[in-house]
Each structure stands twice: as structure tokens, then as C-alpha cells.
Structure 1
Amino acid sequence: MRLNRRLWLLVHGWLSLPIWLLFCFICLTGTLAVMSHEITWLANPEARALNPGDAPAKPIPELVEAVRREVPDAEIARVMTLEPYLITAIKFSSPDSPHNLAYVNQYTGAVQELGSGITFIEFMRSLHGWLLFPWQNSYSIGYYLVGAMSLVVLGALITGPVIYKRFWRALTQPRVRTDRGSRAFLGDLHRLGGVWSLWFLLVMGLTGLWYLTQGILWHNGISAWERPEPVALADVPKTDHQPPEHISVARALAAARQAHPGIEPTWVAFPEHNRGHFDVAGSGPGFLYDDFAYRAFISPWTGTVAQSRQPAGMGPMQTIAHIADPLHYGTLGGLWTKIVWFVFGLLLTGMSITGFLIWTRRTAVATRDVSKDRTRRGSEAGPTASMDLEDART
């Protein structure tokens, strides 16, 4: 019976190996995703929005016109404003390429770079969010795998303090023993990091659990918000052999500001077809809310607001949907909170590594003990049993 228990413990340990590797990878990519804007600033000089003259940011319509002057046949898809020290990113299509990106300095109006494909920021968010698994039928296996790691985080949050007796002492009397061997050293590091990261584990676990729930809702055709109805056919102007012209982006922004006087637009999506809308989103007075909490969908033909959203009109599920990202990525307080999230993300990654090292050492000991026990049993049973044991091993 003792041998069977050891074998089951060994099997359990080996089966949990892929989970630990996946968990560590998700922790590391999430940590990098938190600082992806800053990493972009460091790695790519053309992504920096230098402002030597301390000029105010130019309005979005001027930045759009700068791209059109640079690429006359550009079809603008969306405008994304980032941190003040990063350029404004404008996505557009052209006859030569369907996916292009322009880096426009919002202070000088200069187009600093033209490129195609996805940015490092988008890549890191996608790698962390769904492991680059494809999306089909409103779900991604990778998204489910990442979301399921929230259960691991919450499980560690619950079981850690139970296993570590009087864990609160680590807050006032931290201990890392360097003279008791590697096993004691790794164990002290793991426990110390865990105690100081309890609040971070709670935030990551709850927001991750929301992402998992959200993925299940998407899979079943349920969304926090209903999209506005397409523009009525009667509002689409009729022309003779010429495509009708939309209202200007300046007029669409004015309509959004009228609906939300305090909005700071960070996202402007152009209509994808004749019955689509201008989609203007941004931040506002709400501290915890993301950059899509204030949003307006504007008819490209009449300039009327088809739908508007703001925190005051949100239900519980909609509120959670708009505060999850700032809490998960640490963007709620700007650069300083992102630095805090980055540090604790590294700490959580390190905890997963130390936990894995502790597990491997215990597994190695368990494997050795089981091997010795089997050898001893074979020796006690005599030569025949030993031969049978050797046959079983081969």
C-alpha cells in the first residue's frame, strides 16, 4: 500500500509538470505585456513621440490627414492614441497591402514610420491572452487555457496560507536561509514571495476568472454589450455611380464629445461598410475604468449618436468588463502602477520557478525511494522475483 501511494504521488507530480510550465510562461508573457509600451519605446526610436518644443498634441483629424498626405490612397481603419511619450498609431489599408500601420508624432504631425503586420504590443497581448491559438466560432482553445490558470492562482492563494503556518510573520520578519542548503533556500524564497504577493494573487485570480467566464459567454453568443443596429438603409445617401462621402472625423468626434463631455478619445474606428458606424471610445473621470468605458457609435451619414455607453449606465457585468483590464495589467495609475505590476509579475514568475524546482527535487527523491523500495523487494523475494523485476523494467 505504501508503494502504491508513492507511485500515485509520482504520477501526480509528473502530470502537473505541463501545468507548471504553462503557468510560468503565462506569468512571464503577462509581465512583459504590462510594460510592452515602454519596451516599444526603448527598442524603436521611431515609436517615440519627441516634443522638444513642448507643443500641445494635435487633434486627431490632423493626424489622419498627415497619413493621407503620406499615402494618398490610404483607407483609414482606426486611430489609437497611447501614452504621451508614444506616437499615435493609425491603421490603414491600401491597394498594395490590407494591413498597414503609421506611426504619427502627435506633437509635430510627422509620419515617423510606415509598416505592416502587428506591433510588439499587440503580439505580447495576444501571446499572453490566448497563446496565439486561432479563434473560431467565437472561442479559442488558448484563451480557455490561459483563463483556466486563474483557478491555479486562486488555489495557490487559498492553500498557501494554510500550508505556511503563521504566514503573516513573513511581512515583519522575512527569513531567507542561505546556510541550510538549496532546498531550504528555495523554500524560504517561495514562501516569502507568496506572502508578499497575496494581494497580487487575489487581483490576478479574480480578473483571470472573469476572463475565463467572459470566454465562456462569448462562446455561447453572450456579450456584456449589444452592438448598435446597422444604419438604416434610408439614411444611406444615394449617388450616381459615385461612392457617397462620410461625415468628417472631426464631426464624429464632436458628436462623441457632445454625448460624453469629459471624454478623452483614445480609439476611433472608421465605418467598415455603408451601414457601419464611427466608433469613438476613450477614458473619462472614472478611475478604475478602461479606455472603452466611454463610447459612442455615430452614424457616418447623419452624425447622430446611435448608441452611447458610460459607467453611470453600466450593470454589474458591464462594470466588471471595463475594470478588469486596468486591474489585470496595472494601467489604472499610469506608469507607476505598471512598474508595481511588473515587479510583482516578475515575483510571481519567480515563485512558479522556485515552486517547480522544489517539486522536481521532491519528485527526484520520491523516484529514488520508489526505485530503492522495488529493488529491496526484489532482493528479498529471491532470484526469481529479481528476474521478473528486470523483465518488467525492460
Structure 2
Amino acid sequence: MAKSSRPNRQWWFRLHSWAGLKFSLLMFFVSLTGTLAVFAYEIDWLLTPELRVTPQPAASARPAGELLAAAHRANPEWTITSLNLELPSFMAAEAIARDPAGELQRIYLNPYTAEVIGVAPWFNAHRFLRQTHRHLMLPLKWGLSIVGLLSIPLLLSLASAFPIYKKWWRGFRKTPKGGDTPRRWWGDLHRLLGVWSLPFIALIAITGLWYLIERWGGAAAPASRLLPEYASTSQPRGAPTLTRAIDQALAQNPEFALKHILLSEGKPLLLQGQATALLVRNRANTIAVDAHSQRIVGQVKGEQLTAHQRIAEAADPLHFGTFAGYTSKIVWFIWGMAMTLLSASGVWLCALRLGSRRTGPAPTAAWRQIGRSRWLQLALILLSLGLSLPFIIA
């Protein structure tokens, strides 16, 4: 009888071990920074007193025009480029500005009093976690490509797990029992984390692959291209003018929730936010307003986008879990920690397998099993941290 040419369970196990082990160092680092990035602003809230405010009802928030005017008054020589209104009620509103030296700065404003609370450098925990996770602090094209390529071994790990773990659907209720060896306990834990993380791993792998495709020519045309070309006069700085322009635009779009404002000299105000389209970034819903004439000069709605653009706009909300506030963020954080532990527990299982009952685990042997790529992965991690150091010290 001819031997079947179909891959057997041992073949799938070797593929799973290769995909999980050979890229484990970088996978662990990228997973950890991405997981922490889910709560990056909350980490900044702990580290930055100026970001803290006493929460009040949303109805007591001051108009966005007043916040912009206050930021201009406090720093008249600075060029305000954006205002972030999306932070939780216990955090300040955040204006991004460029000082006379050309450096980016953050201006924190109390959203309930329109008072400037303080100023902080642009580079903070949020930027550190996002940039190390997204592109390892390297030039964007190459760093994002390296991180995006991790989606391939992640997909291989996911696909190979099913032939290895027979009747895997029963694993949702199997807690680690251990038995007579630590290897069994860690194996049970690895499988438990794996089955509960299946949808998250698939989502992260697919969106990660999408980011790689975008970087190498598959990006959709930005939604802003649907806005007409319109030249405006210099941006006004007075609260009444800004407030009237923004309020009139919002009154014409009652379903629109303002989250972000972009400012550029000689161009209209760009109001960005959420409306009726599901799973899109704020930029997918943009209202262009001439602040002097109080007139809407262009508008884009999420429903107008092509299928290609909708896929592009859904990638970030799905990848970072920002689409349902703290509910989705907490779930994404838990899933992210599980994925991070999967990388670590896979390496530890290798150390246990290569060891013995008498000598215990063999971490040195597991380290060697990663192969020569371990030095490149370690170098990339250290380089990423090293490139962040000047910003942290400053």
C-alpha cells in the first residue's frame, strides 16, 4: 500500500515549532509593545500630571473653538497643527504644536474650563510604544516591513496548530493540570492560551499582513482625496470665530461626533470624527470648514468610501481594539498578553523538551535552537530601544 504524501501530525508540529521558535524574540517584543500600546494614553496619564483632570459630564465640556483659542493665546509663537478631543473624560484635551525651533510639543487643556494645564514634549509613552511596535523606531518603510513580515510566521503558527491539537474545540475548558512534569503543565497552558486567542491571532496576523501590503504598493487612496481643493486665508485664532465655524458645521451634521481637528495655514479646518459608518478611523469622516466664512467647503463620509478604502480604514480599529471604547480595549489587552505569553511559553516548552528530569530545563539549548536569526532579532530589539533613548532622555 502506497504511503500517503499528506503531511502528518509530526510534520505540522515541526512547522509550528519552527514558525514559533525562529522568530520568538522579535514576536515577543512586538506583541508586548503592541499590547501595552492599547493603554498607552493611560500610561501617560500616570506619568504626566498635566494630563489629569477631574471628570465632569460631557455636556459641561467647552467648545473646541475655545480650546484652540486658549492654546494659541498661551503660546502665540507656536503653530498649532491639531487638537485631539478623543481622550477619556479624566484626561485633558491635547493640542499638538510646533515651536519656533521646529520641535513638536503637546499642549494640555482642561476640556471643561478651556484653561491650559501644561506643556510636554511630543515624545511620550504613547509615541514610544506605537513607534517601537509599528516600525521598531527604524525608517518607516523598512521597520514596518520587518514587523509586517512577522504576520507570515504568525499565520503559519495558527494554521499548523489545528492539525497538531486534535479536537481543539474541547480545549476551551481544559485548565493546566501539570501531571508529573512541568512540561505537561506548560504544554496545557500553551494550548489553553492558544485556543482562547485563536480569533485574535487571526485578526492580528491578517491586519499585520495588510499593513505590509499597504507599505509595498497596495494602499488605498486616502479619503482626503475626495475633498475639493480649496485655499483659505490664514487660520483665525479667536475663540468666537473658531467656535461659530465649528458649531455651524456640527449643527449641519447632527450624527457627527467630533474627535479630532487638523489645522494648516492657508487651508480649511478639517473636522474628523465618527458618524454612522462602522469600523473606520476618524479621518474617514471629515468636514472641511472655512473658519472665516463659517462655510463647509467639502465633506467626506465613511459610507462614500470604496471597498478598498473601507478595508484600509478598518485595519487600525481592529488591530488596536479601539472601536468600542474600554470594552474592546480591555479584551484586546487580555488577548494581547495571551499572545505575548504564547511566544514566551513556546520557547520555555522547547527548553523543557531539550532538558531532562535530572538536569531540568535547558534554556541555553533553546536559545541555540532559535538559530542564527536570534542575533539579528536581538540586534533589532536593542537598536529600537537605543533609538528611543535620546527622546526619553530629552
Relative to the length of structure 2, the TM-score reads 0.77
**Of 331, 346, 350, which aligns to 2:337?**
346
Offset at residue 331 of structure 1 (A): 1.4
Distance 1:259-1:202 versus aligned 2 partners, 3 A rule: farther
Distance 1:55-1:309 versus aligned 2 partners, 3 A rule: closer
Instruction: Work out whether residues 19 and 157 of structure 2, in 8 Å CA contact, stay in contact via their aligned partners in 1.
Output: no
Q: Hey, what's the Cα distance between the residues in 2 that align with 1:159 and 1:244?
A: 56
Amino acid at match of 2:172: L
What is the percent sequence identity of the aligned residues? 30
Q: Hey, what's the Cα distance between the residues in 2 that align with 1:49 and 1:91?
A: 18
2:102 aligned with 1:111, yes or no? no
Distance 1:246-1:38 versus aligned 2 partners, 3 A rule: closer
Higher gyration radius (CA): 1
Instruction: Work out whether residues 221 and 309 of structure 2, in 8 Å CA contact, stay in contact via their aligned partners in 1.
Output: no
**What's the CA shift string for 1:177-206, capped at 9, x where partnerless?**
323222222211111110111111122122
**Of 62, 76, 99, which aligns to 1:72?**
76
**Of 212, 223, 227, which aligns to 2:221?**
223
| 1:124 matched residue in structure 2 | 129
Q: Hey, what's the Cα distance between the residues in 1 that align with 2:44 and 2:193?
A: 29
* 3-state SS of 1:227 partner: helix
Superposition RMSD in Å: 3.2
Distance 1:102-1:186 versus aligned 2 partners, 3 A rule: same
Amino acid at match of 2:152: L
| 1:198 matched residue in structure 2 | 198
Structure 2 residue runs without a partner (length 5+): 1-12, 357-361, 366-394
Residues 234-273 of structure 1: pairs in structure 2 closer than 5 A: 248-254=241-247, 256-257=249-250, 260-271=253-264, 273=265
Offset at residue 226 of structure 1 (A): 5.6
Distance 1:169-1:236 versus aligned 2 partners, 3 A rule: closer
| Paired residue total | 343
Offset at residue 320 of structure 1 (A): 1.3
Residues 126-165 of structure 1: pairs in structure 2 closer than 5 A: 126-135=131-140, 140-165=141-166
| 1:60 matched residue in structure 2 | 64
Q: Hey, what's the Cα distance between the residues in 1 that align with 2:40 and 2:68?
A: 25
Q: Hey, what's the Cα distance between the residues in 2 that align with 1:335 and 1:308?
A: 29
* 3-state SS of 2:77 partner: coil
Q: Which moved more, 1:50-59 or 1:279-288?
A: 50-59
Q: Hey, what's the Cα distance between the residues in 1 that align with 2:207 and 2:252?
A: 30
Q: Hey, what's the Cα distance between the residues in 1 that align with 2:220 and 2:58?
A: 46
Q: Hey, what's the Cα distance between the residues in 1 that align with 2:278 and 2:232?
A: 39
Q: Hey, what's the Cα distance between the residues in 2 that align with 1:257 and 1:115?
A: 30
Relative to the length of structure 1, the TM-score reads 0.77
2:293 aligned with 1:289, yes or no? no
* 3-state SS of 1:350 partner: helix
Amino acid at match of 1:176: P
Q: Hey, what's the Cα distance between the residues in 1 that align with 2:125 and 2:33?
A: 12
Offset at residue 74 of structure 1 (A): 2.8
Amino acid at match of 1:158: A
